[in-house]
Structure 1
Amino acid sequence: MKILIIDDDQSLRYMLGEICKYAGWDFITAENGKQGVEIFQSEHPDVLLIDYHMPEMNGYDTLIEIRMINHHVPIIILTVDERQEIANQFLEQGATDFALKPVKAPDIIARIQLHIRLANMQDTQNVQSEVFTTKGISKKTLNHVTGYMQSVNAAASVDEIAKEVGLAYPTVYRYVMHLLETGEVKQITSYQKIGRPKMLYKWYTN
């Protein structure tokens, strides 16, 4: 398996490369988005790790360029920005998931393994229009989230669901909100003894 690391921070490129070595994966690095797109076209990696904040071509523009070339390859965005609106913008352009900085080896290894597994489950016969059920919602990730929610009886918070399915909180939040909009999930307000009420989500069954 080959990982393409696109990040302007040399120390982070080195660290991520060492993590890939530890996991037994080959890796290639690029120090900016423009170089990353060129390498992607020649090397055809299995997974991309793309930093959000980069000079010359940032992670958002790099994502758009990559998705114009390939609609299926898993793309994990590296960022310190936890705002949901930023996550939504990336997901709408085809980001697969997020890894928050500082990156932790067990988390990024598990995240890559999950997305390789999900990518391998993707029917290669699907046409482009079938890859996404709606903008920013991929079928394979949606099936992964819904599969978990259908398998449990108890309501859970987005944070709890994210930990169980191995996806980043912003990714799971968007998918849960999508399921809420389609009526497949119901929202339950759990009132705490201290602090704000907690929003829980449960697969809707009559």
Structure 2
Amino acid sequence: MSATILVVDDNEDIRFTLKEICEYANWQVIEASTGKRAVELINVLAPDLILLDYHMPDWDGIQTTKKIRRLNENVPIIILTVDERQEIANSFLHAGATDFALKPIKAPDLISRIRINLKMGKLTENKNSAYVDKGINHKTLLSIKNCLIQLDRPSTINEIQQGLPIAYQTVHRYLIYLEEKGEVEVISQYGKKGRPRNTYQLTWSSTNVYITPNGE
């Protein structure tokens, strides 16, 4: 997949490493050492995906994410940080980031993650509204789809909710919406007693791709 990746990090060595990884995967790379410079480049170059550091001078990753979202609601933003606290991940998701990865991240894992997010980004093309349907928020819908792709197996609502700062009832409502659209299938697992246990997974038609464990 031909794409342009914007790498935003104040550390030159890290930018160089990320650039080498992206170019190995045949993606074009543009660089920014600050959040402000990143926003300036987005205005001109419209990258397909952004790799964004958390700890930076002036604008940190959260502030930069918010400013990017004012310009572009759909471009995938992957946050790279050494901070593994869940509240930090939640803050980024609330700000509009689409993915969150801990440093140091191995090259194959980063390439796979970028490929997944690029494919998810394609699902948002030609959408001029933040709402897909009445009462359905596009960003929330994208986050749930992204979580289902990352889990890569039939998953319960609780399992999906654990990866998102979204209430159980909201996840359930969006899954029902996706099922009605034919983008999610429900798999009922029957035990010896009690009600069946429902799990959910994306249908292949909803992504138009087959994702292998290597992300290819």
Considering the TM-score relative to the shorter chain, is it more than 0.5? yes
Pairwise CA RMSD of aligned residues?
3.2
Q: Percent identity?
A: 40
Q: Which amino acid aligns with 2:48?
A: D
Give the Cα separation in 2 of the matches to 1:53 and 1:149: 28
- Give the alignment of 1:103-142 within 5 angstroms: 103-122=105-124, 124-125=126-127, 127-130=129-132, 133=136, 138-142=140-144
TM-score, length of structure 2 as denominator length: 0.69
Distance 1:144 1:98, change over 3 A: closer
Query: Residues of 2 paired with 1:148 and 1:57: CA distance?
Result: 29
User: Can you give the 5+ residue segments of structure 1 that lack an aligned partner in the other structure?
Assistant: 162-170, 186-200
1:138 match: secondary structure: helix
Give the Cα–Cα distance (whole angstroms) in 1 for the partners of residues 142 and 54 of structure 2: 24
Match of 1:98 in 2: 100
What are the ranges of 5 or more consecutive residues in structure 2 without an aligned counterpart? 176-196, 201-216
Report if aligned partners of 1:72, 1:119 keep a CA contact under 8 Å in 2: yes
The number of equivalent residue pairs is 174
Distance 1:157 1:80, change over 3 A: farther
State which of 57, 60, 82 in structure 2 corresponds to 1:58.
Answer: 60
Aligned mate of 2:25, from 23, 26, 38: 23
Instruction: List, as ranges, runs of 4+ consecutive aligned residues in structure 1 with deviation greater than 6 Å.
Output: 147-151, 154-157
Post-superposition shift, 1:122?
2.5
Query: Residues 149 and 25 of structure 1: is their aligned pair in 2 closer, same or farther, counting only changes over 3 Å?
Result: closer
Aligned to 2:79: 77
- After superposition, the Cα gap between the structure-2 partners of 1:121 and 1:58, relative to the gap in structure 1 and judged at 3 Å, is same
Aligned equivalents of 1:76, 1:38: Cα separation in 2: 18
Q: Deviations over 1:120-156 (max 9, x none)?
A: 1235235123499459x5313313445788963x769
- Partner residue of 1:174 out of 164, 168, 191: 164
Distance 1:157 1:127, change over 3 A: closer
